[in-house]
Amino acid sequence: MIAMYPPVQPLDDRSQLIRENMPLVELVVQRMVPQVPSFMTKEDMISAAMVGLIDAANKFDPAKGVKFRTFAEYRVRGAILDEMRKLDWFSRSMRDKQSQLTQTMLRLERRFGRSPEEEEMAAELTMTIDEYRDLLTEVSHLGCVSLHETLDHSEEGRSFLDNLEDIGGPMPSDLLEKEEMTRMMAEILEELSEKERLVIALYYYEELTQKEIAEVLSVSEGRISQLHSQALLKLRVKLINSELYEP
């Protein structure tokens, strides 16, 4: 049997793709800074991102009808996440805390038939509301709680964000491949609180920083981090319940 391999881009073409998309490296790094631990420097991220861009240029197949920028962004983001995992910044205690939050919300979601309120989560965890919010802050930088988390293992690596309908306008057509998933994610967004939806919209679509969102909503930056973390936790639990996401 003859093995089939994806076509390799000519060296000149690869070099051109890399040169033309260097700004993408800086863009992705800037967007991911809030998601990485403090000991991972921007230089670490840029180095990993460049590896991802080069890998994308080497493996890109234009015959698949996917834009290089779209393909490269997943590769660049994935390379940064891989580097974070190599650094093993997911401590065991932090993994346990994130798992505790997910399982608690999953349990209450199934009990109530809706997303639980903060007070209900705190009560189930036998915590005060402040202790619960502090826990949300602790896990807010975990990569597994991000709209950029991939939902499958394909080369395109679709993420939560790719399946959300843009609150301010239509998403690019090349990101709306799964109509059912898009419809479901839109319904899930409607179940978030008004502030949670606003945080998601301002952060992911308007590309404001958490500090800027805090100024818009007249709350602390820490509170925005908590709202962001809880909103994405709700999305993840909804997907688990819908059997469209495998934890």
Q: What is the pLDDT of residues 56-111, one digit of tens each?
A: 888 888 888 888 888 889 889 988 888 887 765 556 677 788 889 989 999 998 89
Rounded Cα distance, 99 and 247, in Å: 10
- Look at residue 13 in the predicted model and tell me its pLDDT: 72
Domain of 76 in residue numbering reads as: 11-86
111, two tokens: 């009990």
80 and 164 part of one domain:
no
User: pLDDT band for position 5 (50/70/90)?
Assistant: very low
- Look at residue 60 in the predicted model and tell me its pLDDT: 85
29, two tokens: 């790094």
The answer to whether 86 and 65 have CB atoms below 8 angstroms apart is: no
The answer to whether 233 and 215 have CB atoms below 8 angstroms apart is: no
Determine if the pTM surpasses 0.75.
no
78 and 103 part of one domain:
no
48 and 119 part of one domain:
no
Q: Is residue 136 part of a domain?
A: yes
Q: Is the predicted pLDDT of residue 121 greater than 50, yes or no?
A: yes
Rounded Cα distance, 23 and 170, in Å: 24
Q: Is residue 151 part of a domain?
A: yes
Which is more confident, 157 or 232? 232
Residue that terminates a domain, selected from 47, 65, 86: 86
- Look at residue 143 in the predicted model and tell me its pLDDT: 44
Q: Is the predicted pLDDT of residue 36 greater than 70, yes or no?
A: yes
Rounded Cα distance, 107 and 103, in Å: 6
Total structural domains within the chain: 2
Q: Is residue 129 part of a domain?
A: yes
Q: How many Cα neighbours within 13 Å face the side chain of 158?
A: 16
159 and 131 part of one domain:
yes
Q: What is the mean pLDDT of the chain?
A: 75
What percent of the chain is modeled with pLDDT above 90? 14
Q: Measured on CA atoms in the order 193, 199, 201, 204, is the torsion positive or negative?
A: negative
- Look at residue 200 in the predicted model and tell me its pLDDT: 82
207 and 145 part of one domain:
yes
136 and 22 part of one domain:
no
Rounded Cα distance, 212 and 129, in Å: 25
State which of 2-6, 20-24, 188-192 shows the largest mean pLDDT: 20-24
Number of neighbours of residue 71 by Cβ within 10 angstroms: 21
- Look at residue 154 in the predicted model and tell me its pLDDT: 45
Q: Give me the long-range contacts of 69-76 (CB less than 8 A, separation at least 24).
A: 69/21, 69/24, 70/156, 70/174, 70/175, 71/155, 71/156, 72/17, 72/21, 72/24, 73/24, 73/28, 74/150, 74/155, 74/156, 74/157, 74/159, 76/24, 76/25, 76/28, 76/49, 76/52
Averaged over 226-243, what is the pLDDT? 79
